[in-house]
Chain A
C-alpha cells in the first residue's frame, strides 16, 4: 500500500502532513522530490492527492455565482432592503 521504505522515504502519513504545503509550493526542493517519489510509487496516495485537489476545486464551484443553482440569491428579501435603508444616517 506504499513504496518500499528507503532510509529517508516518506510514509503515507508524512505525505498527508505535507500535502497542503506541497500544493501551495511551500516544500523545499529536496522534500518536494521525496514527496513526488512517494506519490509515483503509491497509488493510494496518488488517488488521495487527486481527490484532495478535486475537493478544493469543487468547493469553489459549489458556490460559483455563474451557475444557475448558485447560492447568490437573485434578490434579497424586501424587508431586509427596507431595514438596511432605514438604518442609514440622517443627512447632515
Chain B
C-alpha cells in the first residue's frame, strides 16, 4: 500500500544524505518548533532551550547517515532533543525550590486524611485557556527532578522504562517521582478547581 508520508520522508532523508541545502533547511524549519517546545518544557523559556535545540540538530546532522529510518524522523528527533535537554539539566545550576513534601497530602497518625477535600469542577470555574496556563505554571513550580519525570511521562508520553534509562535511575524511582509530582501539582491546582473554592 502507498505510504505518502513514508515516501516523502525517504525522499527527504536521501536529500539530506546527499547534502542538499534545501533539505536541511526544510528539516530544520519543519521540526524545530516542536523540538523547541519540548526543550522549553524541560528547561524553561530561555537560552538553555535554544541551545538544546541547536545541539540536538548538531547530533542529528552527525547521525543522519546512520539513521535506519525505522522510526519516523519526528520520533527520532524528539528522542534526540529530550537527550540534549536532559544533558543541559544535568549541568546547569539549580534554582531554589519549594520542598515537595509541603505539597503532599497530610494525614493523622492513624492514617486518616486531615483535609476532607472537595470535588473539582474545573469546567465551570475556569476558561480552558486560563486552566492550561494554571497547569503550566504549576508544573514550572515543581522541583526539577520531579518536574522532569512528569514532563517526560505525562506530556512527552515516554514509557517508564525509557524515562528510567534516560535519567539513569530505576523504574521504581521514576514511578515514585511521577506519583509525588502529580500529587504536588494536584495540591497546587486544588484551590483553583475545587467546588466552592477559589
Residues of A bordering B, CB below 8 Å: 1-2, 11-14, 16, 19-21, 43-45, 47-48, 50-52, 54-56, 58-63, 65, 67-77, 80-81, 83-85, 87-89, 91-92
Contacts and interface: CB of A to CB of B under 8 A. Distances in A.
A55 B111 contact: no
Nearest to A19: B179
A60 B50 contact: no
B143 interface: no
A87 B131 contact: no
Chain B contact residues, majority secondary structure: helix
Interface residues of B, number: 55
B7 to A, nearest CB: 24
A59 B112 contact: no
B181 to A, nearest CB: 9
B19 interface: yes
A90 B37 CA distance: 28
A16 B154 contact: no
A55 B139 contact: no
A72 B131 contact: no
Given A44-B115, A47-B118, A55-B182, A84 B54 contact: yes
B62 interface: yes
Contacts of A63: 37, 41, 132, 136, 155
Given A51-B193, A84-B57, A13 B129 contact: no
Nearest to A63: B155
Interface stretch (B27-35, B91-99, B161-169): B27-35
A68 B32 CA distance: 18
A52 B61 CA distance: 41
B25 A85 contact: yes
Nearest to A45: B113
A56 B153 CA distance: 10
Nearest to A14: B111
A89 B129 CA distance: 42
Contacts of A13: 105, 107, 111-113
A76 B105 CA distance: 40
